[in-house]
Chains A and B, each alone.
Chain A
């Protein structure tokens, strides 16, 4: 099998693996759905963090924006969940286009902290300022207002599971394509040596802006899917105290890689799911694991796995060459 074929198979393999797990452990369907949705969210952060080198403590606000734009649409304006997803994507594009030029001018801790502040403002907005629309901490319910979608009624959790898998598969394929394209190389090159990119004739501001828009769209898409899955949304989703979680998941999986977010989501949510049964403060283990990853395996789960694979392939080739 050529490297190219093997790479094309991976998105199908990973989503297929999730579907298989659902049949092996039917009781874990909600958890597996969450893995798919969280992967999309981590993928967004991975563009910022892994590809462009921005640490954002404001990602929950974009997730929350997606969730609330879908929820508000379904609660007040329309009934079709697919349209609600489209509304959330458009919201992501709009926010990315409008906020991007302001935020991506900032570097390092300034970007991190301004995003954190933006996250706090977002939380205050849905909790207090727009309480008439969002119902504040009581949350916004809309499950009964949703109408059946054609072909697959995604109001049903079982159907929603397959819908989430389909979305994940499509995003996997697009994400991989982006990684292999000039755009992916441009993202990484801008992070590595922005001046050299400018010497080559690239407007690196636009590259960073585009990365920000893509990251925001992935977060709002994930947010809208979360909202539709639960039929309800509340301000907890955009809590700024949860901002570090997505960064940790990105690190655990392997930042700057295509499939790192998938493994980051599995590892992070897996620890939360399993360990929280015995230890209330499950974050303790995540903290320890993050330290180990940062010091010992800074390429994360997927990065370390691919490194080992390359190394063993190299050793095999060497052994074949040696008479």
Chain B
């Protein structure tokens, strides 16, 4: 894959946390268009905090976040989302009282992107679930719906926090195929503990430990050899 020289997302010396509690220390990373980045690390390593900071839910103590060469530190989460950086949270919470169609309509209205057919090419199962209440979907279906909602508006970068958590192995395999397809239209940054999946989709892997990035690799052989496993 040919990478552009300017990163889509550029993070420099980022310190962030909750209240006075520092969780992230000196995070520096680059994400280029078309890449699939995986973030791995134990629970409490700061992966979710990093995503929450990038998505605008946490204001960093210091550091720089440049998305499409614009500083987004201090922007509201909705402004960051509208600028093309979408965040799929790990809780798999959809709007339970609304139908799948209404969930998609909400996502479309915010971004003015009503091209559902494009989304259905990646996630065809959703098409038959349109009238179902989102609260009645299975874990895998909810995840599909969340991904579909994130893809509306053609975001440049989608952050996904543990998309396979709690899913059955065959669903993880399905999701892996979905990621392989949607990477054709967007850049993905995924927090993932499922290492077989990481080896299948990642172009670059960042390993996190105790709030720091302790290793990174974009060498396919190293990724296949799971060299980052020691940080888990």
- Interfacial residues, chain A to chain B (CB-CB below 8 A): 182, 185-186, 188-189, 192-193, 195-204
Looking at the assembled complex, report how far the CB atom of A194 sits from the nearest CB atom of chain B, in whole angstroms.
Answer: 10
* B153–A201 CB distance below 8 A: yes
Stretch at the interface among B25-33, B89-97, B223-231: B89-97
* A204–B78 CB distance below 8 A: yes
**Residue B88 lies at the interface, judged by CB distance under 8 Å to chain A:** yes
Q: Number of B interface residues at 8 Å Cβ cutoff, please give it.
A: 27
* A202–B95 CB distance below 8 A: no
Task: Name the residue on A nearest B105 (C-beta).
Answer: A182
Task: Name the residue on B nearest A196 (C-beta).
Answer: B93
**Residue B107 lies at the interface, judged by CB distance under 8 Å to chain A:** yes
- A189–B57 Cα distance when bound, in Å, is 18
Chain B CB within 10 A, most for which of A188, A192, A195, A200: A200
Besides the known contacts A182-B105, A185-B105, A199-B77, 15 further A-B residue pairs in the complex with CB atoms under 8 A apart:
A182-B106, A182-B109, A185-B95, A189-B98, A192-B96, A193-B95, A195-B77, A196-B94, A196-B95, A197-B78, A198-B77, A198-B78, A200-B110, A201-B110, A202-B110
* A186–B106 CB distance below 8 A: yes
- Interfacial residues, chain B to chain A (CB-CB below 8 A): 55, 57, 76-78, 81-82, 86-89, 93-98, 102, 105-107, 109-111, 149-150, 153
- A200–B153 Cα distance when bound, in Å, is 9
Q: Is the interface of A mostly helix, strand, loop or mixed?
A: helix
- A203–B55 Cα distance when bound, in Å, is 14
- A189–B102 Cα distance when bound, in Å, is 10
- A200–B55 Cα distance when bound, in Å, is 11
Looking at the assembled complex, report how far the CB atom of A104 sits from the nearest CB atom of chain B, in whole angstroms.
Answer: 16
- A185–B97 Cα distance when bound, in Å, is 9
B149: chain A residues within 8 A (beta carbon): 200
* B111–A199 CB distance below 8 A: no
